[in-house]
Amino acid sequence: MNSRAPVIVVGGGPAGLAVAVGLALQDVAVAVYEVEPRLPRDLRAGSFHPPTLEMLDGIGVGQDFLALGYRVPRWQIRGRREGVIVEWDLSLIADLTPYPFRFHCEQFKLTPLLLKRFKTLGGTVHWQHRFLDAMQDGDGVAARFATPDGIETVYGSYLVGADGGRSTVRHAMNVAFEGFTWPERFLVAGIDRDLAPAGFTMNAYVSDPVDWSAIFKMPHDGPPGLWRVLFPTDAEVPEEQVLAADFVERALQNFLPWDRPYGVEHKSTYRVHQRVASDFRRGRMLLVGDAAHVNNPLGAFGLNGALHGAFNLVEKLGPVWRGEAPETALDRYVRQRRAANIEFVQAQSIRNKELLQERDPAIRIRRLGELRRTAADRASHKAYLVKSSMIWSVQRATEVE
């Protein structure tokens, strides 16, 4: 097989399309295979950190994306009873990034921009192609897909699995997905109430031993936007009961009482996992995005980490495909992104959740006090933002040889 055969990307989500665009910009032949008939409308992710915006700018979609959402220059950690514990000011990192803010925009508004960019570069997405399995040798990969017209075999030089947390590619690679699943089921409700008059910034996390929550304002269909509130719920309670109107209304009134019923624009539930693939590479098959790692949403590290991995892989795979770098460069991708994910994304997202749900009164008081002291000192405040904005994790990855 010709080693310059196309790179096969399985999965047309943000990570897969980012890989495809990045490779196409390096004149690498690449084709995307997606199981759905069109781009999905995923309501989960929607908060983007400064390094991610810089990377999106680098492939020509950043400015178009910035026109679609909200810039969030300040965010809060609150206590359910105490009110605001700290309010973080991202202007302190303006010397480190052209984008000193969090950016809120639904994930499903990014993927069309990536798809359009890919198509302008001559790329093709093959819809309704469900990955079945693959065989590889030293020259390439033969992947089988189930399509509406039957089984199709596709030949490529490399195969990138960007097919989500239940990745079939990962299973085909015989790679373990190590970690655990949180006991709760998360409920997300998009509401019609403006939370700003109640003192909430467009991103806030509310600490409480039982009724913790997370808040994000999203652009939705345009002004005035839509506030999302995330709650933990008992996974033993049937999903249809959790999604029932009276259950959601009680949760919202408990979160912030109102003198009338909340208008709920959308609601959904999902389980949350903390898992990392034991390896991101088996020969010419590689993993990226949720196929490689998943985490809880507290800190907004999941989609951002997926995109950071995508751009890191592109940086290595392009030269390898062109014969300008040895295949061992792909092992560096694995080392760098597994380190960044384990040392920061997993560790910090777990700490964030533990902070919000801490039940020991003494530990909770101590941790909230530490946050207050950190925010009160300018240098410590900035150092905290360098980490929470994922600037540190990107830098850390580059240091891994």
Which is nearest to 9 in space by CA: 151, 28, 341, 294? 28
Which is nearest to 108 in space by CA: 173, 44, 154? 44
Fold that domain 7-72+103-178+274-357+390-399 belongs to in CATH: FAD/NAD(P)-binding domain (3.50.50)
pLDDT at 222: 85
Q: What are phi and psi of 41, to 5 degrees?
A: -100, 85
- The answer on pLDDT for 333 being more than 90 is yes
Domain boundaries, the chain: 7-72+103-178+274-357+390-399, 182-270
Mean pLDDT, residues 3-16 taken together: 94
Q: Which residues partner with 77 through β-bridges?
A: 86, 205
Taken as a whole, the chain contains a residue count of: 401
C-alpha separations of 31 from 9, 40, 156, 337, 401 in Å: 6, 18, 9, 23, 30
Rounded mean pLDDT of the chain? 95
Mean pLDDT, residues 149-168 taken together: 97
Pairing of strands 30-33, 124-126: parallel
Over its C-alpha atoms, the chain yields an Rg (Å, rounded) of 21
C-alpha separations of 139 from 6, 10, 136, 328, 372 in Å: 12, 19, 8, 15, 57
Cβ 242 vs Cβ 251: under 8 Å: no
Q: CB 73: neighbour CB atoms within 10 A?
A: 14
Rounded to whole angstroms, how far apart are CA atoms 268 and 113?
Answer: 25
Rounded to whole angstroms, how far apart are CA atoms 308 and 331?
Answer: 16
Mean pLDDT, residues 260-264 taken together: 95
Structure confidence at residue 401 as a pLDDT band (50, 70, 90)? confident
- Six token digits for residue 196: 């700003």
pLDDT at 40: 86
The tens digit of pLDDT for each residue in 338-376 reads 999 999 999 999 999 999 999 999 999 999 999 999 999
Helix (H), strand (E) at residue 317: helix 302-321
pLDDT at 175: 98
- The answer on pLDDT for 4 being more than 90 is no
- The answer on pLDDT for 298 being more than 80 is yes
- The answer on pLDDT for 44 being more than 90 is no
- The answer on pLDDT for 1 being more than 50 is no
Rounded to whole angstroms, how far apart are CA atoms 124 and 122?
Answer: 7
Alpha carbon of residue 67 to chain centroid? 20
The tens digit of pLDDT for each residue in 186-214 reads 999 999 899 999 999 999 999 999 999 99
The pTM of the full predicted model, rounded to 2 decimals, is 0.95
- The answer on pLDDT for 135 being more than 80 is yes
- The alpha helices in 322-360, defined as continuous H runs, are 329-340, 347-357
Rounded to whole angstroms, how far apart are CA atoms 297 and 36?
Answer: 24
Helix axes 391-399, 378-388, angle to 10 degrees: 70
Pairing of strands 213-218, 285-287: unpaired
Structure confidence at residue 3 as a pLDDT band (50, 70, 90)? low
- Dihedral sign, Cα of residue 115, residue 116, residue 120, residue 126: positive
- The answer on pLDDT for 115 being more than 70 is yes
Is the CATH number 3.40.50.2300 carried by domain 182-270?
no
Helix (H), strand (E) at residue 98: none
